[in-house]
Each structure stands twice: as C-alpha cells, then as structure tokens.
A and B are shown apart, each in its own frame.
Chain A
Amino acid sequence: GDSVIQMQGQVTLSENDFLFINCTYSTTGYPTLFWYVQYSGEGPQLLLQVTTANNKGSSRGFEATYDKGTTSFHLQKTSVQEIDSAVYYCAMRERGNSGTYQRFGTGTKLQVVP
C-alpha cells in the first residue's frame, strides 16, 4: 500500500549545524508532498509544499526538493537554531472515495542544543 517513510525518529544538533531529515514515499504517480512542523503543545502546521516532481519548496530557511527518481522529499536547512526544535512530519496527498486527504509519516523530532 501507499506509505510515507521517515527513518529518523530523533535528530540532535547544535546551533548553526546543517539539518537533513529524510523522507521517502511510495505510491503511483506524482503526488503533492508536504512538510509540517509541530511545536511543543501545538498542532502541526504547514511548513512547505511542492506539487510538481523535481521542483523545490522553501519556507523560513527550510528547503525540500521533490525527487521523482528516488521518490524522496528530504528536508534541509543550512543553519538550525534552537527555535527550530520541533517534530517534523512529511506528508503525501492521497485520493479518497470522494476527494483527497493527507497521509503522514512517523515524524522526526529535532532537538537543537545551544
């Protein structure tokens, strides 16, 4: 079946380190892909999205490239800050019976230490 895979459960970095969170997906075609961020005590919120294969999305210094060859949508940031500490979810648009919904990965918890 369709799936969104995030292999990293937790990542710990120091401030100004480079961030790389991997995400791969399995489905037919080229679905819209999303990254959501969840800060402590809040619900997830959209960070960025990309609709077309081989395109790039960016927001707040984060960047992700849709690679249809490797079916991946990894999230990167050049220099993380303590305020970036959060859980990051990769998600994929899916078709339901009468419309669409989003399938999420298992999430990656990022901890940035000063």
Chain B
Amino acid sequence: EAAVTQSPRNKVAVTGGKVTLSCNQTNNHNNMYWYRQDTGHGLRLIHYSYGAGSTEKGDIPDGYKASRPSQENFSLILELATPSQTSVYFCASGDRDRVPERLFFGHGTKLSVL
C-alpha cells in the first residue's frame, strides 16, 4: 500500500515566523503535491513537483515556497507565516506513468498561526 507521511501532524506558529511542513513518500512516485483544505474552499493546490529538483506553482502559491530535494521528500515553506495560513495541509503523491493518475494523500498537518 502506498505510503505518504507528513510531519508534524499539528503545528502552532507565531505570526511572522518560519514554518516548514515536511512530506515523505515511499511509493517511488514522480509527482508530489501540496494542497490546503478550508471549509467552503475544499482542496486548493499550492505547489507541485514532477521530480527531484522541480517545483511548479499551483492555484494559490503566494506566501508559500516548495522544495523537492529528492524523489521521496517534498517540503512546503512559509517564510513569514500569517493567520490567514491557518489551515489543514495535505501532501499527495502520484505516478505520472499511470493513466489516469491516482493520488495518495497523507493524513494532513493542522497548522495554526497565532
């Protein structure tokens, strides 16, 4: 079974602080994604990556950076966290060679910015 692990599961940050959310997948998938989940908005794509060293902007990239140092790891970075970034963040991986691509999600990281 595909495995996507996010850390931390919960995070409380202060406004203006730096936050790094980590994601590790053992599926050997090329593609990885970061979504945020908010009531009334559903899941919105922040950044994604098609392989190590690559990142692409999604629909709501402002205020976020992403890093894909290896096939297995994909991080989401909030350089200057704001209360509007309080949300639940989900990482997902997918196999680009499988059509259609099925996404495997982690359990999510609940971030509160005070």
Does A102 contact B42, Cβ atoms closer than 8 Å?
A: no
List the A side residues contacting B74 at CB < 8 Å: none
Does B42 contact A43, Cβ atoms closer than 8 Å?
A: no
Contact partner, B56, options A36, A49, A96, A102, Cβ 8 Å: A96
Can you list 10 pairs linking A and B with CB atoms under 8 Å apart? Answer: A42-B108, A46-B102, A46-B103, A51-B99, A93-B100, A93-B101, A96-B48, A102-B101, A106-B40, A106-B41
Does B105 contact A45, Cβ atoms closer than 8 Å?
A: yes
List the B side residues contacting A97 at CB < 8 Å: 56
Interface positions, chain B 27-45, Cβ under 8 Å from A, are 31, 33, 35, 40-45
Does B107 contact A105, Cβ atoms closer than 8 Å?
A: no
CB within 8 Å of B: which residues of A?
6, 9, 32, 34, 36, 41-46, 49, 51, 89, 93, 96-107
Smallest Cβ distance from B60 to chain A, in angstroms? 12
Interface residue total, chain B, C-beta cutoff 8 A: 29
Does B108 contact A101, Cβ atoms closer than 8 Å?
A: no
List the A side residues contacting B111 at CB < 8 Å: none
| Chain A binding surface, main DSSP class | loop
Does B103 contact A102, Cβ atoms closer than 8 Å?
A: yes
Contact partner, B44, options A36, A41, A46, A104, Cβ 8 Å: A104
Q: A43-B90, A98-B56 are in contact. Are A49 and B102 (CB under 8 A)?
A: yes
List the B side residues contacting A105 at CB < 8 Å: 42
A31: nearest chain-B partner, CB-CB: B100
List the A side residues contacting B103 at CB < 8 Å: 36, 44, 46, 102
